Structure 1
Amino acid sequence: MTISPWQIRIRDSELRFSNIDALRAIAALLVLWMHASEVFIYLVREKDAGGEWVYRLSDIFDFGRIGVVSFFAISGFVVPMSLKGPASATELKLFAIGRFFRLYPAFWVSIVPGAVTFYWIWGKSFTIWDLLLNFTMMPEWLGALPAEGLYWTLQIEMVFYAICAILFWMDWIRNADRLFQVCFTFFIGYALLRDKAYAINLAHLSIMFFGALCRQLVSMNDGIGRRRLLRAIGLYASLWLIFIPAYGVVAIMLGKYDYSVSRFFLAYGIGILLFLLVLALPNLNAACLVWLGRISYSIYLLHPIVLFSLYWIIGRGYVPWMQALNLGVYVALCALITIVLAAVNFYLVEEPARRLGQRIKRRIRLQSQGDASLLRPN
């Protein structure tokens, strides 16, 4: 197999993109920065401890939203390509198994600590029924409270997987023209329904399929096809970077929205731009960022547990000397503890579960090949 400049091999012989792993790390740390600064700013202001710029910077640019947009684009870039071969029930089964073992075991680890640190230690209501429904990864759709507020992004991921499976069955998943149509259909749906609460999820799905288009561009060898696809990608990016911000400015000038809308549009545009910039750097292979990218899912899941636990401990005076630290110190401390716990979760839960999923997939694939051989004429 020919390896492009965008790809590196890792020990288990899977194909990975070092720059995409680096972007995962950046996105996870941006989300952590935003959430930690939002929580600890109250303690810092109360004690006049300094470092408010750490919060201001993340708030002005909406670091959390930038990180989430980058994550959605990464999912689109990576996930559809795991659907391989001609459409069949076996391939869909393999896809479902791979996604299950990639997401659910590490996710389950976060649920009980999330309930404890976000609800129970603060005396907020969170029932056992809520807890149990969280194990589906779709608690809000089932009428339950999410153990962590960020679970909403995982629910969108599940919708994306279902759509990918349908497109695979229709033989559209590797067709750049069809993906272009799907991407823009979701975007147009968002533009038409933007005042509806659910409309933003159409934008997120559109961004995911934009990521899939970018993967098609990286993989494509046909010069004419690449130029057509590059124009489509440029058009889509310009919508977020130029036309939507321009619409927001006009709407604000007409008094339809307040200035928070410009912050919203800015974050989406920066998230798209960040994804494209990193994609244009195929040799981005900083070992630290690549490693953090590999554990970024656990960083994403566990950082709220760390920051709410710390805030509860410090806010109640259990560690007096930590009550008047600079906000940057609190954010850095949350990041350090989260990375340690995420590494533990990755090596003890996430990676073993993924490997188990791979073994099950290999067994099913071998069984399927054996059954097929029995049907061949001698």
Structure 2
Amino acid sequence: MAFDAGIFLKTPDLESFDNLKKEELVLLAKELKLVFKVSMRKQIIKNLVIDKLVDAEILGEEALELKVENIDAFKLKQLELEHELKLKELEMKEIEKRKEDEFKLKQAELEMKERLEIERKEKEDEFKLKELEMKEREKIKEDELKLKELEMRERLEMEKLKIEMVKEESNTKVQSKSDYFDAAKNIRLVPKFCEKTVDKYFPQFEKIANNLKWPMPYWTTLLQSVFEGKAAEIYSALPSEKSSDYDTVKQEILKAYELVPEAYRQKFRSYKKFDSQTYVEFAWEKEDLFDKWLTSKKTDNNFDNLRQLMLLEEIKQCVHSELKTHLDDKTVESIHDAAVISDNYTLSHKRSFKSQNVNTSSGNYKNQSTERTDSKPVPQNKSQSSYNMSSPNFNLKITIVLL
């Protein structure tokens, strides 16, 4: 049965008191409201309780005999101090533990604050990103709206233009509906003009015009809307009757940019390799210039046309400069035509080319001819001519050195 301090004080028994354990004495001391420490020795607590019980006349004076007085006071004090020291150590440990717990709590609070701050920043960044996305969407919508407005305006302008064209058509009654061509509508389909690639522009334009079946009388009208720089100046300087002719406009502009056959030939012949070029690049450029020369001369990949072109170039290298200039000014298609024109030029200008040396890249050629004073030209005897260039049996070897 558990010890009850209240019941014991009501019916105290000296023998039972003497047999009480330390735990029971502690309960009894607490019931009597004594000042003590649990860490005190049993006998010291017992002595305190005995003194209190005798003073309260709960036990008689015979209980004083149970007190033990022979304990050394110094040792007792030492024990008490040791007990107090241990108590203080325990208290210090508890304080340190409490401080450690407080530090951990503060650290946890700081971590929580940092986490909350990071989450707050992330949410702010996310919100800003969403705002930017919303602004971009709004901007895209605004751009789409503006684009639609522009398209609507263009449509309205086109409709107005069509109405005006229809009105003009109905008033003048010059063009029928089947022959009507809307130039304003097709202007946006005209390729952009670039002064650096003039030689490639006209084939591109002609291809588009033929595919879209644009009437040729309107070609120059469409072209003048994209001309710039030197091309615009040339077109503006042309008379009205020539400015409406596509071939004339094309030739004048190509001539202005030095893209005539003679210019291509000169570029091909004079083009040299740069130090920064590889031989593959140089060969490609040389081949491209040669192809442009052939295209400008309209050889159409025909061997006979190519043969005549090379023969014409060769004969021009074998005559003096004035005759060469005269041949360049003429539209010469074959070496036979060149020979006839040269003979006529020689007779009309009364020039003798006897023993004249013409230096060329392949060596020195000597062309001999006799100046005639007769009014009637004497036909040349074929048997006497050792150099008949128009003869079909004549074979001329042409070597094109690219590198």
Question: Do they fold alike, i.e. is TM over 0.5?
Answer: no
Give the greater-gyration-radius structure (CA): 2
Indicate the structure whose relative CO is greater, using CA pairs within 8 Å and at least 6 residues apart. 1
* Structure-1-length-normalised TM-score: 0.20
* Structure-2-length-normalised TM-score: 0.19
